[in-house]
Amino acid sequence: AMAATAAEALSRVADVEIDGDGVFKYVLVRVRAAGGPGKDVVRGHGWAEYHADIYEQTAQELAQQGLSCECLGGGRLSHCPQERKIHVYGYSVGFGRADHSVTVEKLRAKYLDYEVTWADEGY
Protein backbone atom coordinates (compact mmCIF):
# COMPACT_ATOMS: atom_id res chain seq x y z
CA ALA A 1 0.00 0.00 0.00
CA MET A 2 2.90 2.36 0.78
CA ALA A 3 4.15 2.21 -2.81
CA ALA A 4 0.76 3.12 -4.22
CA THR A 5 0.46 6.04 -1.80
CA ALA A 6 3.92 7.28 -2.74
CA ALA A 7 3.08 7.05 -6.45
CA GLU A 8 -0.16 8.94 -5.85
CA ALA A 9 1.70 11.66 -3.95
CA LEU A 10 4.17 11.93 -6.82
CA SER A 11 1.39 12.18 -9.41
CA ARG A 12 -0.17 15.07 -7.46
CA VAL A 13 3.01 17.15 -7.70
CA ALA A 14 2.56 19.78 -10.42
CA ASP A 15 5.12 19.56 -13.24
CA VAL A 16 5.29 23.35 -13.49
CA GLU A 17 4.71 26.13 -10.96
CA ILE A 18 5.97 29.52 -12.12
CA ASP A 19 4.96 33.15 -11.71
CA GLY A 20 2.45 34.55 -14.18
CA ASP A 21 4.79 37.15 -15.62
CA GLY A 22 8.17 38.81 -15.25
CA VAL A 23 11.77 37.67 -15.12
CA PHE A 24 12.70 35.37 -12.26
CA LYS A 25 14.93 32.54 -11.12
CA TYR A 26 13.91 28.92 -11.58
CA VAL A 27 15.13 25.50 -10.49
CA LEU A 28 14.70 22.08 -12.07
CA VAL A 29 14.00 19.56 -9.32
CA ARG A 30 13.90 15.75 -9.45
CA VAL A 31 11.17 14.53 -7.11
CA ARG A 32 11.16 10.95 -5.82
CA ALA A 33 8.71 8.79 -3.98
CA ALA A 34 10.40 6.49 -1.46
CA GLY A 35 12.17 3.76 -3.39
CA GLY A 36 10.12 4.56 -6.45
CA PRO A 37 10.48 6.40 -9.73
CA GLY A 38 11.09 10.11 -9.98
CA LYS A 39 9.98 12.98 -12.13
CA ASP A 40 11.41 16.39 -12.92
CA VAL A 41 9.50 19.55 -12.06
CA VAL A 42 10.02 23.25 -12.75
CA ARG A 43 9.64 25.90 -10.03
CA GLY A 44 10.19 29.59 -10.72
CA HIS A 45 9.35 32.62 -8.58
CA GLY A 46 10.13 36.31 -8.48
CA TRP A 47 10.18 36.50 -4.68
CA ALA A 48 13.33 34.38 -4.54
CA GLU A 49 16.60 36.21 -4.06
CA TYR A 50 18.53 32.97 -4.56
CA HIS A 51 17.85 29.73 -6.41
CA ALA A 52 18.26 27.96 -3.07
CA ASP A 53 15.24 29.87 -1.70
CA ILE A 54 12.97 28.23 -4.26
CA TYR A 55 14.56 24.83 -3.85
CA GLU A 56 14.32 24.88 -0.04
CA GLN A 57 10.63 25.83 -0.09
CA THR A 58 9.93 23.14 -2.69
CA ALA A 59 11.83 20.53 -0.66
CA GLN A 60 9.85 21.43 2.48
CA GLU A 61 6.50 21.15 0.67
CA LEU A 62 7.49 17.80 -0.83
CA ALA A 63 8.78 16.44 2.49
CA GLN A 64 5.34 17.08 4.01
CA GLN A 65 3.95 14.73 1.34
CA GLY A 66 6.60 12.11 2.06
CA LEU A 67 8.60 12.89 -1.07
CA SER A 68 12.31 13.57 -1.42
CA CYS A 69 14.03 15.67 -4.06
CA GLU A 70 17.30 16.95 -5.42
CA CYS A 71 18.09 20.08 -7.39
CA LEU A 72 19.29 19.40 -10.94
CA GLY A 73 20.26 23.00 -11.63
CA GLY A 74 18.75 26.41 -12.21
CA GLY A 75 18.46 29.35 -14.50
CA ARG A 76 16.10 32.19 -15.28
CA LEU A 77 12.72 32.48 -16.93
CA SER A 78 11.35 35.46 -18.79
CA HIS A 79 7.56 35.07 -18.89
CA CYS A 80 5.62 37.48 -21.15
CA PRO A 81 1.95 36.46 -21.01
CA GLN A 82 0.83 39.28 -23.32
CA GLU A 83 3.08 37.91 -26.06
CA ARG A 84 2.57 34.30 -24.97
CA LYS A 85 6.33 33.78 -24.74
CA ILE A 86 8.63 32.17 -22.20
CA HIS A 87 12.39 32.31 -22.59
CA VAL A 88 14.65 30.04 -20.52
CA TYR A 89 18.30 31.00 -19.99
CA GLY A 90 21.14 31.49 -17.53
CA TYR A 91 22.30 29.35 -14.65
CA SER A 92 22.47 29.03 -10.88
CA VAL A 93 25.76 29.79 -9.14
CA GLY A 94 24.98 27.28 -6.39
CA PHE A 95 23.31 24.49 -8.37
CA GLY A 96 24.79 24.92 -11.83
CA ARG A 97 22.90 25.17 -15.11
CA ALA A 98 19.71 23.18 -15.41
CA ASP A 99 19.10 21.22 -18.60
CA HIS A 100 17.01 23.95 -20.20
CA SER A 101 15.76 21.57 -22.90
CA VAL A 102 14.00 19.52 -20.18
CA THR A 103 12.54 22.71 -18.71
CA VAL A 104 11.29 23.78 -22.15
CA GLU A 105 9.50 20.44 -22.68
CA LYS A 106 7.74 20.83 -19.32
CA LEU A 107 6.75 24.43 -20.07
CA ARG A 108 5.46 23.58 -23.56
CA ALA A 109 3.28 20.83 -22.12
CA LYS A 110 1.61 23.32 -19.77
CA TYR A 111 1.61 26.46 -21.92
CA LEU A 112 0.35 24.90 -25.13
CA ASP A 113 -0.24 28.15 -27.02
CA TYR A 114 3.10 29.71 -26.05
CA GLU A 115 6.36 30.09 -27.90
CA VAL A 116 8.93 28.64 -25.49
CA THR A 117 12.61 29.21 -26.29
CA TRP A 118 15.92 28.74 -24.52
CA ALA A 119 19.56 29.75 -24.69
CA ASP A 120 22.62 28.70 -22.72
CA GLU A 121 24.10 32.17 -22.48
CA GLY A 122 23.22 34.84 -19.95
CA TYR A 123 23.09 34.90 -16.18
Question: Is 39 within any annotated ligand binding site?
Answer: no
Q: Which residues are catalytic?
A: 51
Q: For residues 86, 90, 91 and 92, what is the CA-based torsion angle, rounded to 10 degrees?
A: -80
Beta strands in 1-123 (DSSP E): 16-18, 22-33, 38-45, 67-80, 85-89, 115-118
Question: Which residues contact residue 16 at a Cβ distance below 8 angstroms, ignoring those fewer than 6 apart?
Answer: 41, 42, 106, 107, 109, 110
Q: Which residues are annotated as a binding site?
A: 25
| Binding site listing for substrate | 25
